[in-house]
Amino acid sequence: MADIGFIGLGNMGGPMAKNLVAAGHKVKGFDVGPLAVATAEAGGIASVDTAAAAARDVDVVFTMLPAGRHVSAVYLGEGGGEGVVAAARPGTVMIDSSTIDVASARSVHAAAAEAGHLMVDAPVSGGVAGAEAGTLTMMVGGADAAFAAAKPYLEIVGGKVVHAGGAGNGQVAKVCNNMILGISMIAISEAFTLGEKLGLDPKVLFDISSTASGSCWAMLNHNPVPGVVETAAANRDYKPGFATSMMHKDLQLAQAAAQQAGAATPLGAEAAALYTLFANAGNADLDYSAIIKLIAGKTA
């Protein structure tokens, strides 16, 4: 069984670390938040005082942090303190599951590779429920050797593990997928709002479109109109689900990546702007499907 250091024991990282313990691994963890540490300790994770201490003398380091700046600070030691890359012994497997910008992911990869580590970026989809159940979809970027070394651990926290290519490609897959989702949700919101204004019952529109050429995953699973798809957040006052704040973050990341790559993403840009408006109007904690309120002119 392996020695594992886990840094970032929040809503996602906490249950992921617990699943590694349940699989028989010895896990030590670090988080800057006392509540996250206390919860992790109750789940069988030994706490240490710094990120470097979590990375020292282990076989594997996992990170599950909010954004690129946290990941850079933890791995490279930016902003003071020893970084994980310097503290770990050469050959350590490093798995960053945070959703971050592609540029930061690639610069951390380069530093880890130079120090002789085996790094992958492995952002996830599946939310807290998937983290708890160990069924996350893991989108993985990194060299073949790093992927092979990380795979047995990814398979504990995830249900589906896909190698998306070289360094940063896990993040690329994640932002591209979520850009499709964000744009789709806005398209669905516009169509259902237009239909309703013209006197078409949303359930009838769903009946037709769900098996016609306008159908898509978001319409079938996250329909934004209450009463249309029973399991959708729209039927729980838009309690997430997948929060607007998360969609907002992912669309911003997609825009940063598009600018860097010189890719034209006009609908992605529009979706990012609409989610910024909606989040800034006090809706960040609502499910992302609540964007239909903005489209329909029903925001407070």
As annotated, the active-site residues are 174
Q: Does 153 bind ligand NAD (CB under 6 A)?
A: no
Q: What is the rounded distance in angstroms from the CA atom of residue 219 to the CA atom of residue 204?
A: 13
* Exposed / middle / buried, residue 60 (Cβ in 10 Å: 0-12, 13-18, 19+): buried
* Structure tokens, 260: 């860097």
- What is the DSSP-derived secondary structure letter of residue 207? H
Q: Does 99 bind ligand NAD (CB under 6 A)?
A: yes
Q: Does 279 bind ligand NAD (CB under 6 A)?
A: no
- Residue among 7, 154, 205, 225 that touches ligand NAD (CB under 6 A): 7
Q: Does 124 bind ligand NAD (CB under 6 A)?
A: yes
Question: Nearest residue by C-beta to ligand NAD?
Answer: 10
Tell me which amino acid residue 287 is: D
Q: Which of residues 228-247 bind ligand NAD (CB under 6 A)?
A: 246
- Residue among 30, 62, 153, 192 that touches ligand NAD (CB under 6 A): 30
Q: Interacting stretch for ligand NAD, rule CB under 6 A, among 41-49, 59-67, 105-113, 140-148? A: 59-67
* Structure tokens, 156: 């504990």
Q: What is the rounded distance in angstroms from the CA atom of residue 215 to the CA atom of residue 153?
A: 36
* 87-100 per-residue burial string, b: 16 or more CB within 10 A, e: under 16: bbeeebbbbbbbbb
Nearer to ligand NAD, 193 or 289 (CB): 289
In the complex, the residues that contact ligand NAD under the rule CB under 6 A are 7-13, 30-33, 36, 51, 64-66, 70, 73-74, 98-99, 124-125, 127-128, 246, 249
